[in-house]
Chains A and B, each alone.
Chain A
């Protein structure tokens, strides 16, 4: 099935066992984003430690396999990184999805499984929404 291109085992694994997923209270939520075309929703919180690294990302995602897997991989990728590096990673991933940037697969880690999404234009937003959400959360933390 050609669907393997899109729904790689890695994606199904993250979808069924999302890392850093949590039930969040309204007070904890920093960002609440929705994709009106499909109803996908992500509520997300993040913390930045005193040394400037992203110390925690937790989220409550309700959506398709692509969106949930992307959130799971996003949290795994970004937690523990300096904020500047995390922002760079966010930009790179979004550009990769939009087909505007090539990234060496060896640098992508698990994210390599999401590369196929860029060939399905209707689904790109599914993969990028949580990355935009975490970027907005980091912006909020920076101005707080």
Chain B
């Protein structure tokens, strides 16, 4: 999981990755944009493209065994249930969960975090209790806690971000001496790329008597994440950022927590026995899966996880680390370009500004040359403002990106620079 400064691109060959064969499995990477140009897709922190294996798994489910899970006794319902539960087993294995029952399917990271805020927070938190977040949290790991604080009278505390994009861990330790009940922290920043030392932070929080929720939206897709090793209490992540379909995600939580938590949504499937005025709840994880679940989504995500496993998450991480290193070096050649986030441990989300050119104009220019990057506040408005900007541009990588994508971006940024410098009104 270490980004080695000495590792140089290209490494795909070294890692045994056949980039042409790999890209061939992604139909989207074969379409063209803006009059026949190759699509250079560098917005993977927002969502990833899907391999044929995932698209086929979803289509095959609808073609061959669509039925509602866990209810009917007929053959196709049994087959659908088996596929849905097999996906749960795949996901449990993928993140090293000790038990399959600890995997709750949700719509994504956002719903997973809201589930914890309601199911755990509403019952536990009292006025004066504290929730520790960091200044690099995505809105999805900020707003649910703001709402919870408003409902319960709990207070939010923030771990500052230092100039290099790492967290101020001394400040974190000081915060832990307060009345902290929960630490909710991103594993990897979607803006700065920083990979936080979550294992150490969990250990310290536990010593202080606090639980820890890890926002794994940017980590689980990109490097090995093992909940047993991290010892975290909750882990939230989304399927669509790791080759899976949209609308499916996971909440992992410890068994004892899931058993003691209140349901988040009520309805069918999550009950044991229902009377007119009361009800009892199904066993975990079903207690948290009210209504007909996203069966095709879960099955598609299971296929994504199996597809990723053929390479290994460590290989994926080494590929992205080397590509990120290469990207940072190349991007810094562009006059007036500033990169935000210089943590020694960082992943493949690279945010930057181009002096005198608004990020929206940057993104528009490079898009016209076939390159998809993100421009905006990346759902971390307070941190962007703190960095002195209203918006930034961001390139973010995945397994199917290589040096040719970075080269295309750098060339397009040079062109953008030239256009704005020469168009002198």
Contact = CB atoms under 8 A, between A and B. Distances in A.
Given A38-B359, A64-B360, A123-B360, A1 B419 contact: yes
Interface residues of B, number: 23
A80 interface: no
A41 B34 CA distance: 29
Interface in B99-132: none
Given A38-B390, A64-B358, 9 more contacts: A3-B364, A7-B361, A12-B425, A13-B425, A37-B376, A39-B376, A39-B384, A39-B391, A126-B360
A62 interface: yes
B424 interface: yes
Contact of A3 (B358, B375, B419): B419
A14 interface: yes
Interface string B393-421: 00000000000000000000001000110
Interface string B372-388: 00011100010010000
B364 A40 contact: no
B390 A40 contact: yes
Given A1-B368, A7-B423, A13-B425, A41 B390 contact: yes
A12 B376 contact: no
A6 B364 contact: yes
B361 A64 contact: yes
A111 interface: no
B158 interface: no
A48 B206 CA distance: 63
A36 B391 CA distance: 10
13 contacts: A1-B419, A9-B423, A9-B425, A12-B423, A13-B425, A38-B390, A40-B358, A63-B358, A63-B390, A64-B358, A64-B360, A66-B361, A126-B360
B281 interface: no
B307 interface: no
Contact of B358 (A6, A65, A120): A65
B365 interface: yes
A38 B376 contact: yes
Given A3-B368, A39-B391, A16 B425 contact: yes
Contacts of A59: none
Interface string A1-41: 11100110110111111000000000000000000111111
A126 B363 CA distance: 14
B364 A123 contact: yes
Contacts of B34: 2
Contacts of A64: 358-361
A17 B375 CA distance: 24
Given A16-B424, A39-B384, A126-B360, A62 B390 contact: yes
A7 B419 contact: yes
Contacts of B365: 3
A38 B375 contact: yes
Contacts of A37: 376
A14 B423 CA distance: 11
B361 A65 contact: yes
Contacts of B361: 7, 64-66
A12 to B, nearest CB: 4
Given A6-B364, A65-B361, A39 B377 contact: yes
A122 B364 CA distance: 9
Contacts of B424: 12, 16
Contacts of B391: 38-40
Interface string B351-368: 000000111110011001
Interface in A119-138: 120, 123, 126
A36 B313 CA distance: 35
Counting chain A CB atoms within 10 Å of each CB, the highest count among B365, B368, B420, B423 belongs to B423
Nearest to B390: A39
Which 4 A/B pairs are nearest by Cβ-Cβ distance?
A13-B425, A39-B390, A64-B358, A64-B360
B425 A14 contact: yes
Counting chain A CB atoms within 10 Å of each CB, the highest count among B34, B357, B368, B415 belongs to B368
Contacts of B368: 1-3
A66 B359 CA distance: 12
A116 B34 CA distance: 16
Contacts of B376: 37-39
Contacts of B389: 39
Nearest to B34: A2
Counting chain A CB atoms within 10 Å of each CB, the highest count among B34, B415, B424 belongs to B424
A81 to B, nearest CB: 24
A16 to B, nearest CB: 5
A39 B389 CA distance: 9
Nearest to B375: A38
B231 to A, nearest CB: 37
A120 B425 contact: no
Interface string B18-44: 000000000000000010000000000
Nearest to A14: B425
